[in-house]
Amino acid sequence: MLPYEALETEARARLPEAVFDYYAGGSGEESTLAENTAAWARVRLRPRVLRDVSSVRTATEVLGTPLAAPVLVAPTAFHSLAHPEGELATARGTREAGSLLVLSSRASRRVEDVAALAGPWWLQVYVFKDRGLTRALVQRAVTSGARALVLTGDTPVVGRKRRDRGDSALALPEEDFLANLEGLTRRELAEQAPDVTFADLDWLRELSGLPVLVKGVLRADDARECLHHGAAGLIVSNHGGRQLDGAVSTAEALPEVVEAAEGRVPVLVDGGVRTGRDVLRALALGARAVLVGRPVLWGLATGGADGVRGVLEGLREDTAHALALAGVAEVSAVGPDLIAPARHR
C-alpha cells in the first residue's frame, strides 16, 4: 500500500474535483476532520522489550466473525463515483483481504448484487422519515445474508459541508443514486428522521433479528443507553468529521465509551485511522477493531478491487509491523499498558 498521503494524491489526480471534495471534505470549518488524524498522533506508545515477536498474528474476531486483521471497511456512499463497478469492486477486494464490509444504505449498487460478491458484511442503516423505506431495505439485507445492522445515530439532520457543490456536480446517474432506496427523490434522500430515538434501536432489533450496533457514539451516557436498549456493539465515530464540526475526536472519545461499555459488547472506532500504529493505538485504548473509509475509497479510485485489497492488506502488514515493534505477538495481547501516561505525551 502506498503511504496514505501518496494514495490520496493519486486518487485526487484521477477523480473529478467535485467527487474528490465530496469524499474528502468535512463539515463546517473542517476542524474535526483535521483533529481526527492529529489526535491519534498524540497518543504516545510504551513498547515492551525482549518479547518473542518472531511470529506476529493480526487475526481477530468481531461478533463471531473471524477477520485477518482488526480493520473493517466503514460505510461510505456512492462508490460508483470512484470506480465503474462501485461497491461490487469494494466487496470483492474486502473479501479477498479477509475483512468485513459495512455497506452503506446509500450504496450505488443493489444490496443483492453486493451480497453475492461479498464475504461477511453488515448493513449501515439510516432511519428515514418514512420508516417503511428503512423497513424494506432491512428486510432485503436480512434475506441477502447481512450478519448485523449498523444504526448511524449521529445524523438526525445532515451536516453542511464546506466543499459541497450539490448533487448535480457529482453527475451520478439516477439508478446509482437510488439503487437501494426506491421511491425516494434526490431531495428526500437527505431527509433522515429527526425524531429518531433509542426506541428505533429496539425496533430494528425486533424487525431484523440481527445484532444491531450503534455508530456515532462519543459519550458514556449515550453508550450506556444504547446497551440498555440491546445494542450488540458501539462504534465511536464523528462521521469522519462530516457532522457537527468541533465535535471531539474519536481517539479522545474512545476511552470514555470503552469504560462505559464495561466489556459487555465490542467497541469499534473510526475516523482518521491511517497507519498500523493508529490501529495499535486504538486497540490499546480498548477498541476491538477499527473501521476505515477514505483510504478504501482512494484504493478503489486508483485500483478497483485490487486497490481496495491492497489498502486493507497494507494496513494488516503495517499493523503486524507495529505490533512487533511494540513487543506484542498478537492482537489479543494488546493492552492499556502500551499507552504512555499523559505527562509523557
Each residue's pLDDT tens digit, 212-269 = 999 999 999 999 999 999 999 999 999 999 989 999 999 999 999 999 999 999 999 9
State the chain's mean pLDDT as an integer. Answer: 93
Confidence of residue 183 (pLDDT cuts 50, 70, 90): low
Rounded to 5 degrees, φ, ψ at 339 are -90, 125
Residue 189: the pLDDT is 61
> Is the model's pLDDT at 344 over the cut of 60?
no
Does residue 342 sit within a domain?
no
pLDDT of residue 197: 95
Active site (annotated) includes residue 321: no
Residue 58 lies in a domain: no
Percent composition of the chain: helix, strand, coil (DSSP 3-state, to 5): 45, 15, 40
State the pLDDT at residue 130: 86
Q: What is this structure's pTM?
A: 0.95
What amino acid occupies position 220?
A
CA 90 – CA 96 distance, rounded (Å): 10
User: Is residue 263 in some structural domain?
Assistant: yes
The answer to whether residue 343 sits within a structural domain is no
Return the CATH number at 33: 3.20.20.70
Task: Decide if 313 is inside a domain.
Answer: yes
Q: What is the mean pLDDT of residues 305-319?
A: 98
- Domain-located, residue 286: yes
pLDDT for 324 beyond 70: yes
Per the structure, the count of domains in the chain is 1
Average pLDDT over residues 48-63: 98
57-61 mean pLDDT: 98
Q: Is the pLDDT of residue 7 over 90?
A: yes
CA of 163: how far to CAs of 69, 80, 111, 292, in Å? 33, 20, 29, 21
In a domain, 225, yes or no: yes
Contacts of 237 (CB under 8 A, 6+ apart): 154, 215, 216, 217, 218, 250, 269, 270, 271, 291
Is 344 a domain residue? no
Catalytic residue among 79, 228, 239, 344: 239
Structural domain range at position 41: 4-45+64-336
